[in-house]
Amino acid sequence: MAGGRGTRLMPLTKDRPKPMIPVLGRPVIDYVKDAMVAAGLSEIIVTTGYQGEQLIQHVATWEIESRVNQEQSPMGTAGSVALLRDELTETFVVGSGDSVASFDIADLLKSHKESGAKVTMALWEVEDPTEFGIVGLSSTMQGETEPNLDEGFIIKFKEKPTAEEAFSNLINAGLYIIEPEVMDLIPKGEKYDFSKQLFPAVLAKGWPMYAKTVDGIWFDVGHPFELHNAQMALVEHRERLPFPMPEGEVLEDGSFIAKSAAVSGHIERSIILAGASVSGAVVNSVVMAGAKVNGVAENSIVGQGAIVISKINNCVVGDGVRVESDLDDERV
């Protein structure tokens, strides 16, 4: 699924779809694609809408049989997949192309088959579940919710609960294994959502739904600060990644400086990517690609081709943007 507009990441998504936002120099969508390839899946279909032309060009470079299905109007998460119902004649995997996901899908497929479920969902544990959809699990079908399980049969859902409503810290990680008959529950030609509509309908029919907490890396990158967190985590777990890191140096605090970056100054918990130039600057929590920085950039993301010559804090400077020396933080 790669149809999201990424409105919370504007203006980074003004000229590209959210799945094409780079993380460590790679589009976000490539992370879940690599996990699918590692699990032995035979074909990938990317469902998209917003600025789908970029995805068509990118998907054409993948090493696995793949193509893009572009919806003419927004159909929702489940509705976009249902457009392919005539092709989905055996067990299939649905993944979110706009989150950094690197974990063992083959293990999830094994649990799906053993449980006899119609749908199996990947789960991720978070400290604050209020921004996500949470699930309640039981060790038996239609049993009582058991709060300490890390896998089991899904008993109930709650979308974006308040702190008081949260009965679990296990959230929907946006990857599902689905049997083809589940698609029959989706009305044809209607906008339809997996979490809000389809999965409650599956439970209402009494069909088994299973879920398992995954071990690996998962990040939603809906906010700029999450782009930084995701990239720092990937650098930290670089030995476990199923793909090569960009060439470069990892500093003691976890910062990464790409081989072709030119850096002089103090770097702290930052990602300095290929083509970036940092001269005499103090850089803290910055993600940069092809940027030139003369000054101080703290808690910021500086995009490709940007030139920053004044102090900025907690800002996102998009591709090709020039920040003049007399521009204060409030105006940025």
Tell me which amino acid residue 138 is. S
Do residues 314 and 200 both lie within one domain? no
Residue 332 makes CB contacts below 8 A (sequence gap 6+) with: 312, 315, 317, 323
Whether 179 has a pLDDT exceeding 90, the answer reads yes
Do residues 209 and 297 both lie within one domain? no
Q: Quick check: is 237 in a domain?
A: no
Instruction: Give the CATH number of the domain where residue 107 resides.
Output: 3.90.550.10
DSSP 56-91: HHHHTT-SSSEEEEE-SS--HHHHHHHTTTTT--S-
Q: Quick check: is 216 in a domain?
A: yes
Residue 128 sits at the vertex; the CA angle it makes with 160 and 140, to the nearest 5 degrees, is 70
Confidence of residue 332 (pLDDT cuts 50, 70, 90): very low
Q: Which helix (H) or strand (E) holds 54?
A: helix 52-59
User: What's the structural domain count of the chain?
Assistant: 2
Give the model's pLDDT for residue 331.
36
**Is the model's pTM score more than 0.85?**
no
Confidence of residue 320 (pLDDT cuts 50, 70, 90): low
Do residues 127 and 276 both lie within one domain? no
Give the model's pLDDT for residue 329.
43
Q: How far apart are CA 299 and CA 330, in angstroms?
A: 15
Do residues 257 and 212 both lie within one domain? no
Do residues 306 and 166 both lie within one domain? no
Q: What is the mean pLDDT of residues 68-91?
A: 90
Tokens of 36: 């699918």
Whether 233 has a pLDDT exceeding 50, the answer reads yes
Residue located via tokens 């005539």: 86
Do residues 92 and 171 both lie within one domain? yes
Q: Quick check: is 1 in a domain?
A: no
Give the model's pLDDT for residue 308.
54
Q: Buried b / exposed e across 230-260, counting CB within 10 Å, b at 16+?
A: bbbbbbeeeeebeeeebebeeeeeebbbbee
- Smallest CA-to-CA distance from 51 within 24, 29, 81, 20 is with 20
- Smallest CA-to-CA distance from 238 within 224, 248, 223, 225 is with 248
Do residues 41 and 180 both lie within one domain? yes
Q: Are strands 248-250 and 262-268 parallel, antiparallel or unpaired?
A: unpaired
Can you give the residue range of the structural domain that contains 268? Answer: 249-323
Do residues 264 and 193 both lie within one domain? no
Do residues 50 and 88 both lie within one domain? yes
